């Protein structure tokens, strides 16, 4: 039976949702093991087992959290050499992307980014051109095939198993400890998390000025269970922190309603929100690509529509 691994990551509440999503897929493809490195790894094993990992390779060593990429890639490579998996699935987080990129140099195997499905041990699928084309990719060359999977491509599902925990004992030499995290800063926002909110209201350049951005917060407040996001353009411009960013290098959201305000619909934004059940777009430019995705598109000035919408929502909610 094929051996399929998941590179699992740890969040505030155990394994990250993306890690559990990958286990659900891995179960369909072969015997499943998870690799989890850093403080909390051993504690995460129970949940990883419940979601389908028969074996969990775990180390609680702080070096994997304190130093960037190199220690994790080194340990993962040592495990790969020893156990020879056929396929490794990685979540598309910053850190996992870095580890996968480094592992590829060591194994000389193929690495596919942005997969939306894994259809076999050597075949995966992605989308290009703003999600208008599905592309099937054959993965060739030496094992293990490495695939970075986009968030929310699969539904996480407990399978009710228990994992055998194998302690990872790999020596990390000093020369792999040269990039160190010395401070951590969280930029917390109030309200529901972007990924969990039923409504996401995202703003872009069409809002014209950072001082107009609070209109989105006001609408979110009027709706309740709504979170505010942003396009990369306004994050880059410093209007809101990076944690607001929806898209390729930001968050992937699948809310019941996505309201794109003054966002043109660049490809890298669209991949983060096109899974929304309904999409509403407000934009001055009738040719903006976002209108091709929208269930309801409004050609108009967001600064006029938003106050009217806030009043309308407040009136209907009584």
Partner 1 sequence: MQVVVLVKSIPDPSGETKLGPDFLVKREGDGVLDPGDEFAVEAALRLAEASDGEVTAVSMGPAGAGAAIRRALAMGAHRAVHVRDDVLHGADALATARVLAAAIARSPFDAVLAGVESTDGYTGTLPMTVAELLGVPSATFARAIEVADGVARIERQTEGGYDVVECALPGLFTVTASAAEPRFPTLKGIMSAKSKPLEELSLPDLNLSPDDVAPTQRVSAVEAAPQKGAGEVIVDDGSAAARIADLLADAKVI
In terms of CB distance, is 166 or 305 closer to partner 1?
305
256 binding partner 1? (CB under 8 A): yes
Q: Check residue 163 and report its DSSP letter.
A: P
In the set 63, 72, 112, 246, which binds partner 1 (CB under 8 A)? 112
Q: Using CB under 8 A, which of 62, 159, 210, 296 touches partner 1?
A: 296
Q: Which one of 50-58, 78-86, 92-100, 162-170 is the stretch in contact with partner 1 (CB under 8 A)?
A: 92-100
Site for partner 1 in 11-40 (CB under 8 A): none
Residues near 108 by beta carbon (within 8 Å), at least 6 away in sequence: 141, 142
Rounded to whole angstroms, the Cα distance separating 99 from 110 reads 14
**Pairing mode, strands 257-261 and 199-203:** parallel
Residue 134, interface with partner 1 (CB under 8 A)?
yes
Question: 159 — alpha (psi -120 to 50), left (phi > 0) or beta?
Answer: alpha
List the x/- string, 232-251, binding to partner 1 by CB under 8 A. x--xx-x--xxx----xx-x
Question: End-to-end CA distance of the chain, in Å?
Answer: 60
Taking the C-alpha atoms of residue 300 and residue 293, their distance in angstroms, rounded to an integer, is 17
**Minimal distance in Å, beta carbon 60 to partner 1?**
20
Q: Which stretch binds partner 1 (CB under 8 A): 43-51, 155-163, 202-210, 219-227?
A: 219-227
User: Given the rule CB under 8 A, which of 35-43, 80-88, 154-162, 277-285 is the region that contacts partner 1?
Assistant: 277-285
DSSP state of 144: P
Is 168 a binder of partner 1 (CB under 8 A)?
no
Closest distance of CB 302 from partner 1, Å: 10
- Binding of partner 1 by 138 (CB under 8 A): yes
Q: Is position 94 an interface residue for partner 1 (rule: CB under 8 A)? A: yes
Distance CA 298, CA 312 (A): 16
Question: Site residues for partner 1, window 68-87 (CB under 8 A)?
Answer: 68-70, 73
CA 32 to CA 53: how far, in whole Å?
5
Query: Would you give the distance in Å from CA 201 to the centre of its chain?
Result: 19
């Amino acid at each position: 039976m094929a051996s399929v691994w998941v590179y699992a990551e740890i969040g505030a509440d155990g394994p990250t949702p993306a890690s559990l999503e990958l286990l659900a897929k891995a179960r369909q493809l072969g015997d499943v093991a998870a690799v989890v490195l850093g403080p909390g790894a051993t504690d995460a094993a129970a949940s990883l087992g419940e979601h389908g990992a028969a074996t969990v390779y775990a180390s609680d060593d702080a070096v994997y959290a304190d130093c960037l990429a190199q220690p994790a890639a080194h340990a993962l490579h040592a495990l790969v050499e020893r156990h020879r998996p056929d396929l490794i699935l990685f979540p598309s987080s910053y850190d996992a992307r870095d580890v996968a990129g480094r592992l590829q140099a060591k194994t000389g195997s193929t690495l596919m980014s942005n997969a939306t499905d894994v259809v076999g041990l050597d075949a995966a699928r992605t989308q290009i051109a703003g999600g208008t084309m599905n592309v099937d990719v054959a993965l060739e060359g030496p094992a293990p095939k490495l695939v970075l999977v986009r968030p929310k491509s699969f539904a996480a599902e407990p399978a009710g198993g228990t994992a055998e925990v194998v302690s990872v004992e790999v020596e990390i030499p000093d020369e792999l400890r040269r990039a160190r995290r010395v401070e951590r800063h969280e930029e917390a926002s109030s309200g529901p998390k972007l990924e969990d909110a039923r409504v996401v209201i995202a703003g872009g350049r069409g809002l014209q000025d950072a001082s107009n951005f609070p209109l989105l917060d006001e609408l979110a407040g009027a709706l309740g269970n709504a979170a505010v996001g942003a396009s990369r353009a306004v994050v880059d411009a410093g209007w809101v922190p990076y944690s607001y960013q929806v898209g390729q290098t930001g968050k992937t959201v699948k809310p019941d309603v996505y309201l794109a305000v003054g966002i043109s619909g660049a490809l890298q934004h669209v991949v983060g929100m096109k899974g929304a059940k309904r999409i509403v777009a407000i934009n001055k430019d009738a040719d903006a690509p976002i209108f091709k995705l929208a269930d309801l598109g409004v050609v108009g000035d967001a600064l006029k529509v938003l106050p009217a919408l806030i009043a309308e929502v407040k009136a209907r909610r009584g």
